[in-house]
Chain A
Amino acid sequence: MAECVRLDSSTSSHTMDKSITLPPDEIFRNLENAKRFAIDIGGSLTKLAYYSTVQHKVAKVRSFDHATKEAASDKLYEISVQEEVTARLHFIKFENAYIETCLDFIKDHLVNTDTKVIKATGGGAHKFKELIERKLGLKVDKEDEMTCLIKGCNFVLRNIPHEAFVYAKHADSEFRFQTTQPDIFPYLLVNIGSGVSIVKVESEDKFERIGGSSIGGGTFWGLGALLTKTKRFDELLQLASKGQHTSVDMLVKDIYGGSYGSLGLTGDLIASSFGKSATADKEFSKEDMAKSLLHMISNDIGQLACLYAKLHNLSRVYFGGFFIRGHPVTMHTITYSINFFTKARPQLSVFISFSLINGEVQALFLRHEGYLGAIGAFLKGAEEDNPNQYSWGENYAGSSGLMSVSPDMNPMQRARSGTFDMLEMDRLERQLVNLPLLQDPSSYIPDTMDLTEDALAREYWLYCFEEALDGVVKRAVASQPDMPEAAQRAEKFRQKYRHKLQTLRQQPFAYGSLTVRSLLDTREHCLNEFNFPDPYSKIKQKENDMALKYYQKAVKSLEELSWEQRQFALVRGVLAGNVFDWGAKAVSDVLESDPEFGFEEAKRQLEERPWLVDSYDQWFERLKGPPHKCALFFVDNSGVDIILGVMPFVRELLSRGTEVVLASNSGPALNDVTNGELQILTERIAAMDPVIHRLDKVLAMVVRERQTDLVIIEGMGRAIHTNYYAMLSCESLKMAVIKNSWLADRLGGKLFSVVFKYEVPAGKPSQHSAALSPL
């Protein structure tokens, strides 16, 4: 049964402070523009969902008109800050005890809504129907629970990276996040409420309850209350985590004296749950009975889930429901059970006569499991806006993240039941798709290092981001010189981001796998939150203007070199240009100096060949062969990097007859060149250099149309932190300078070590062997 447990009469009397522990405007954010509400009321928690719009600032660049160009000093483009409205989904989870206070707050802050209806689901929806209708003046429209649950599940699986995880109690990192699969279907959802429902989900709208069991969370709770006289579900779990089931259960070794070898049943296996309690002359502790009960129920559910998974040939099994909801104890026992039953091979007697099922079943859990019903109910009501058409991303600045409820890991876990948990999702400008050139999109992991698992690396990077915080705050203030309150906002940003970093230090798994990329994203989200759309815009502008002045000179000096020398000089140019990175502490001095001097200085700083990773010789050999059809170049920083490093390299490719597609960030991140800036830059360079033409199309389409056969990835962020191991289906070149001594150390190099990784996918012979050198 999907139904959630109604409150025990004894638990509802559990006194609770009805005041909200956080300032409510930090919880129910953006209520002014909220429209379309949904609510999911479970046995103890209420989940509220609403759609709202957020107005925030974005930095835009605009080329100066030709007519006024002379007048407008030597600036290439102007920067303007504009207001932009984007859609955001808000989900808030709180204890049912707060429901009235929350409804009052919402009513008082709801300004301009034409909404008449609130979608509702969950076992408690009926109970609170009247209250909601009275308080909000909205009509409660009930939606089927299971339908909502599945809609919600599809939504989070599709939109939230690292939504699903495997639970491993004794591993270094408790949570092992799964990478998002391009195709989420089919899967099995095992919802453990008071009973168990097993649902097979085949597509967005096609799902079927293929089975279930009456032995579920209600059995644990009900039977547990009878056996131990303990009333609360959480307390029963606490008891269970302290007990020893072996005093109550009859194990294989109690019957056999050891293992049942011929069947491969080990001695510690439970032969009969509660098998030892069939006696009148023994007392059993509450803890032991609770533990035995927990094992019995978890094993039973795990077994049934495996049987259904095998019958329907499904390997992805997600577990949810209040029995699971963030409880490490039950996640552990369910995982254990699934592992046992999926690995237990049928025992053969004489003849082998069974079909082997290869797909092993894995127990998966969801970070936002508690929100599924609310999300689904919301989506049901929002069908006309078609939110499924868009991509949505978790806003790290406004989302609470996963809290460990493991008592030894998080001593504050009891405090959980007094706080509010939030999830916010922003509508992304465009749908995100995998680069079609990936060899295996399903195994593509855009992060080289998982900081959730690598404690040393995590320690270092968290420290790094904290150290860099002052600088970012300074830049942020400086980027808005005309706004007097910028300093105050920047301070708020500092507090928020520092708090996020501290949370991540305690709970690195809060937003899925922790990576350098997610730390950067979190910072951008926090900056946006406080209206600092692009703290580096002014610096980038200055750098671009200055570097541009030297472009022609740089090109000219390259042209004077022999072909052979030039190829090497171009690569060194890209690498030296990449030293100009505000994200790297080691180079900020160089950045302040004259770009021409700086560029030369950077070249001197570069490691001499052989580089740390060095496939220059292969690349050079390849260049003697036929030109590539089309190269896709992922560029990194603005200024010297893009203009003096990348552009001459691109120019050379173009002169060989290779088309070049430049790919850059759509939004700002440090001094990375953004798409807007890049367009102006290429236009400007094209105006003074006939070799460069501008290309502007949707990337994935371009890549397919132009038959891209070379991908160039530049910079530490793109080539090392994220795509170092990415396998592409065409030739690829990864170039970066390591501007961080810790990372250099990790990789076995020194500061300013060079990574130059040229790869040809297996099965595609490098073409140089077939081509004769023109020289």
Chain B
Amino acid sequence: MQLITIFSLTFPAFPWFGMDIGGTLVKLVYFEPVDITAEEEQEEVENLKSIRRYLTSNVAYGKTGVRDVHLELRNLTMCGRTGNLHFIRFPTQAMPRFIQMGHDKNFSSLHTTLCATGGGAYKFENDFRTMADLELLKLDELDCLIRGLLYVDRVSFNGHPEGYYFQNPSDTQSCVKMPCTLDNPFPMLLVNIGSGVSILAVYSENNYKRVTGTSLGGGTFLGLCCLLTGCETFEEALEMASKGDSTNVDKLVKDIYGGDYERFGLQGSAVASSFGHMMSKEKRDSISKEDLARATLVTITNNIGSIARMCAVNEKIERVVFVGNFLRINTVSTKLLAYAMDFWSKGQLRALFLEHEGYFGAVGALMELLKTTEDP
């Protein structure tokens, strides 16, 4: 490590950002160097200092920007420099304001490259150019996702494993979260649940394919919840879902057959028809918003689980890693996915989750910044 420090005479100019502009959320990672020498400090331009101060001294930015303090990776060495990696998110809707801020803070004078991935890197490229005089380095989101994920797993979460799984997923009472690392991670089926869902079969850092995707993702959960319950945020929707009972909304096998459907080995408690009870007016009149939110969550989660499982079988991969911001503060879904993988595969498949859920794309983008100067 020391050798690298000595020989990497050039590292990219600060500030170091990696940005992932998704359909719903922008994920921003910021490397805060803590090894700044007095010399450096002197040379450091004022707006660079002010950016650092603004980002590191706040946990909320504007009305909607949030720093996930609990995810901060401390004392990380990147490109020979030591620092803390901060994880910040804000809604994609706020992108124009963000770009405006870049303009106001005269970001373009900093000679840094803004590495961006996600669809927004393409969509907002022109706005960055015209509004803030900034050139984006656009990066493929799946490349970044995999690179970032492998990196974070490698450096670990401040000494703790980045990954976790659920022990006894089929038993709600004894189901416990267990930490784990992804040693020997390949092959893995990577299920990225953002607004929509992408499913990748990953064979090595540079060898992967997008197997399929589905439009029923986090955006669908939130979109439907907003329409059905009048809620406005993901947090609100999840809060309601945690209190609801989906069996008031969904029709179960036992609602149709009175018990198990033995001819086909289906348990009575399995969902036969999502929202199936809602065909009846009486039932529609008797359910709560919480029940609806829960049913929406369960429907979307089970569907993702089912497609992921099919892909795993088709691709002959046993390890399924779920990431993406849909899983943020969403233990209902993580447990359900763990259960679904285990139950339907009769224990063959294992669902794994990662603590930095939705930030891997942004981390991957940052690494690209460091790579561009590291290997000229």
Residues of A within 8 A of B (CB): 1, 3, 5, 8-10, 123, 144, 146-147, 193-195, 197, 209, 211, 213-219, 221-223, 225-227, 231, 248-250, 252, 254-258, 260, 262-263, 270-280, 284, 289, 296, 299-300, 303-304, 307-308, 310-311, 341, 344, 346-351, 353-354
The reply to whether A255 and B216 form a contact with Cβ atoms under 8 Å apart is: no
Subset of 11 A-B contacts with CB under 8 Å = A3-B257, A197-B264, A209-B264, A214-B272, A218-B251, A225-B278, A272-B220, A274-B227, A275-B196, A311-B310, A311-B314
B250 and A307 contact, CB distance less than 8 A:
no
**B313 and chain A: residue at smallest CB distance:** A311
Q: Does B277 contact A (CB under 8 A)?
A: yes
CB atoms of A146 and B264 under 8 A apart? yes
CB-based contact B303/A277 at 8 Å: no
What are the residues of chain B within 8 A of A348 when measuring CB–CB?
Answer: 209
Beyond A300-B303, A303-B212, A346-B210, whether A275 also contacts B310 by CB under 8 A is no
A231 surroundings in chain B (CB, below 8 A) = 281
Which residues from A are CB-within-8-Å of B209? 346-349, 353-354
Q: A1-B272, A219-B273 are in contact. Are A248 and B223 (CB under 8 A)?
A: yes
Interface string of B219-262 (1 = CB under 8 A from A): 11011111110101000000000000000011101001100010
Specify the chain B residue showing the minimal Cβ separation from A225. B278
Return chain B residues, CB-CB under 8 Å to A214: 250, 270-274, 276, 299, 302
Binding-face segment, B50-58, B98-106, B116-124, B363-371: B116-124
Contact: A222 with B310, CB < 8 Å?
no
A296 near B23: Cβ-Cβ < 8 Å? no
Contact B123 A257 (CB under 8 A): yes
Question: For the complex, is B263 an interface residue (Cβ under 8 Å from A)?
Answer: yes
Q: Which of A5, A8, A227, A346 contacts B211 (CB 8 A)?
A: A346
Q: Shortest distance in angstroms between A192's beta carbon and chain B's nearest beta carbon?
A: 10
From residue A626, how far is it (CB to closest CB) to chain B in Å?
A: 57
A349-B299 Cα distance, complex, nearest whole Å: 32
Does B341 touch A at the CB level, under 8 Å? no
**Which of B28-36, B38-46, B81-89, B200-208 touches A?**
B200-208
Known: A8-B280, A146-B263, A307-B310. A350 touches B207 (CB 8 A): yes
User: CA separation between A28 and B161, bound complex, in Å?
Assistant: 73
Asked whether any CB of chain A lies closer than 8 Å to the CB of B24, the reply is yes
The complex places the Cα of A216 from the Cα of B276 at a distance, in Å, of: 9
A304 touches B220 (CB 8 A): no
**B22-A255 in contact (CB<8A):** yes
User: Which chain B residues border A1 with CB–CB below 8 Å?
Assistant: 253, 256, 261, 272-273
Contacting pair A275 B307 (CB below 8 A): no
Q: How far is the CA of A184 from the CA of B199 in the complex (A)?
A: 34
Known contacts A195-B276, A289-B227; is A250 also within 8 Å of B23 by CB?
Answer: yes
Residues of A within 8 Å of B271, CB to CB, are: 195, 214
**Distance in angstroms between the alpha carbons of A252 and B224 in the assembled complex:** 19
Contact B272 A277 (CB under 8 A): no
Q: Does B279 contact A (CB under 8 A)?
A: yes
The count of A-to-B residue pairs whose CB atoms sit within 8 angstroms is 233
CB neighbours of B214 from chain A (8 A): 299-300, 303
Q: Nearest-CB distance from B147 to chain A (Å)?
A: 12
A222–B277 touching, CB < 8 Å? yes
Interchain CB contact under 8 A, B273 and A222: yes
Q: Does B282 contact A (CB under 8 A)?
A: yes
Closest Cβ of chain A to B252, distance in Å, is 9
Chain B residues closer than 8 Å to A272, beta-carbon distance: 23-24, 194-196, 215, 217-220, 223
B180 beta carbon closer than 8 Å to chain A: no
Task: Enumerate chain A residues within 8 angstroms of B160, measured Cβ to Cβ.
Answer: none
Residue of B nearest to A271 (CB): B196
What is the minimal beta-carbon distance from A273 to any residue of chain B, in angstroms? Answer: 4
The reply on B140 being an interface residue by CB < 8 A is: yes
A346 smallest CB distance to B (angstroms): 5
Q: B94 on the interface (CB 8 Å rule)?
A: no
Q: Which of chain A's residues have a CB closer than 8 A to the CB of B249?
A: 222
Give the Cβ gap from B55 to chain A, nearest Cβ, in Å.
25
Residues of A contacting B140 with CB < 8 Å?
262
Please name all residues of chain A whose beta carbon is closer than 8 Å to the beta carbon of B232 when the two chains form the complex.
Answer: 279-280
A3 and B23 CA atoms in complex are apart in Å by 38
Q: Are A215 and B24 in contact (CB under 8 A)?
A: no
Of all chain B residues, the one with the shortest Cβ separation from A256 is B119
**Also in contact, A296 and B216, with CB within 8 A (given A219-B299, A307-B307):** yes
Kindly list chain A residues whose C-beta atoms are within 8 Å of the C-beta of B303: 213, 215, 300
- Assess the A296–B220 pair: CB atoms within 8 A: yes
Q: Which are the 10 A-B pairs with shortest beta-carbon distances?
A: A222-B278, A274-B223, A272-B219, A255-B119, A275-B219, A218-B273, A257-B123, A222-B275, A218-B276, A194-B273
CB distance from B130 to the nearest CB of A (A): 14
Pick the contact of A194: B118, B122, B276 (CB < 8 A): B276
Residue from the list A252, A300, A349 in contact with B206, Cβ < 8 A: A349
Complex contacts, B201 vs chain A, CB 8 Å: 346, 354
- Are B210 and A271 touching (Cβ within 8 A)? no
Question: Besides the contacts A275-B24, A275-B195, A347-B209, what 15 more A-B pairs have beta carbons closer than 8 Å?
Answer: A1-B272, A1-B273, A3-B257, A8-B281, A9-B282, A144-B263, A193-B273, A216-B274, A217-B273, A223-B274, A226-B275, A274-B220, A280-B226, A299-B214, A349-B208
Alpha-carbon distance between A299 and B214 when the two chains are bound, in angstroms: 8
Chain B proximity of A697: nearest CB distance (Å): 46
Q: In the complex, A773→B297 CA distance in Å?
A: 85
- Answer whether residue B306 sits at the interface, using C-beta atoms and an 8 A cutoff: yes
Shortest Cβ distance from residue B355 to the other chain A in the assembled complex, whole angstroms:
24
Which B residues lie within 8 Å of A215 (CB)? 216, 274, 299, 303
The answer to the question of B292 belonging to the interface, with a C-beta cut-off of 8 Å to chain A, is yes
- B119/A260 in contact, CB under 8 A: yes
Q: With A and B bound together, what is the CA distance between A311 and B314 in angstroms? A: 6
**Inter-chain contacts of B256 with A (CB < 8 A):** 1, 3, 123, 194
Residues of A within 8 A of B310 (CB): 211, 304, 307-308, 311
Please give me the residue from chain A that is nearest to B276 by CB atom.
Answer: A218
Query: Is B332's CB within 8 Å of the partner chain A?
Result: no
B134-155: CB near A (< 8 Å → 1, else 0) gives 0000001011000000000000
Q: Does B284 contact A (CB under 8 A)?
A: yes
Residue from B118, B210, B212, B218 with most neighbouring chain A CB atoms (10 Å): B210
Chain A residues with CB under 8 A of B22: 255
Residues of chain B within 8 A of A249, CB atoms compared: 215
| Cβ–Cβ contact A226 & B278, under 8 A | yes
What distance in Å separates the Cβ of A467 from its nearest Cβ neighbour in chain B?
Answer: 52
Contacts of A222 in B (CB 8 A): 249, 273-279
- Report the minimal beta-carbon distance from B59 to chain A, rounded to whole angstroms: 24
CA distance A5 to B283 in the complex (A): 14
Q: Which residue of B lies closest to A284 (CB)?
A: B227
Residue from A123, A193, A213, A250 in contact with B306 in the complex, judged by beta carbons closer than 8 Å: A213
Q: How far is the CB of B225 from chain A (nearest CB, A)?
A: 8
With A215-B303, A250-B195, A272-B196 known as contacts, the answer to whether A225 contacts B119 (CB < 8 A) is no
| A351 / chain B contacts, CB cutoff of 8 Å | 203, 207
CB distance from A144 to the nearest CB of B (A): 6
Check if B311 is an interface residue, CB within 8 A of chain A.
yes
Q: How far is the CB of B357 from chain A (nearest CB, A)?
A: 17
Q: How far is the CB of B189 from chain A (nearest CB, A)?
A: 13
**Interface contact B278-A194, CB-CB below 8 Å:** no
Tell me the minimal C-beta distance from B197 to chain A in angstroms. Answer: 9
Contact A273 B278 (CB under 8 A): no
Chain B residues with Cβ under 8 A from A219's Cβ? 273-276, 299
Residue pair B274, A353 in contact (C-beta under 8 Å): no
Smallest beta-carbon distance A232→chain B, Å: 10
Contacts of B281 in A (CB 8 A): 8-10, 225, 231
A277 proximity list for chain B (CB < 8 A): 223-224, 226-227
* Bound CA span A250–B224, Å: 13
* Closest A residue, CB atoms, query B250: A214
CB pair B23 A271 closer than 8 Å:
yes
Encode B166-203 as 1/0 by CB contact (under 8 A) with A: 00000000000000000000000000001110000101
B282 to chain A, nearest CB (A): 6
Measured CA separation A223–B194 after assembly (Å): 22
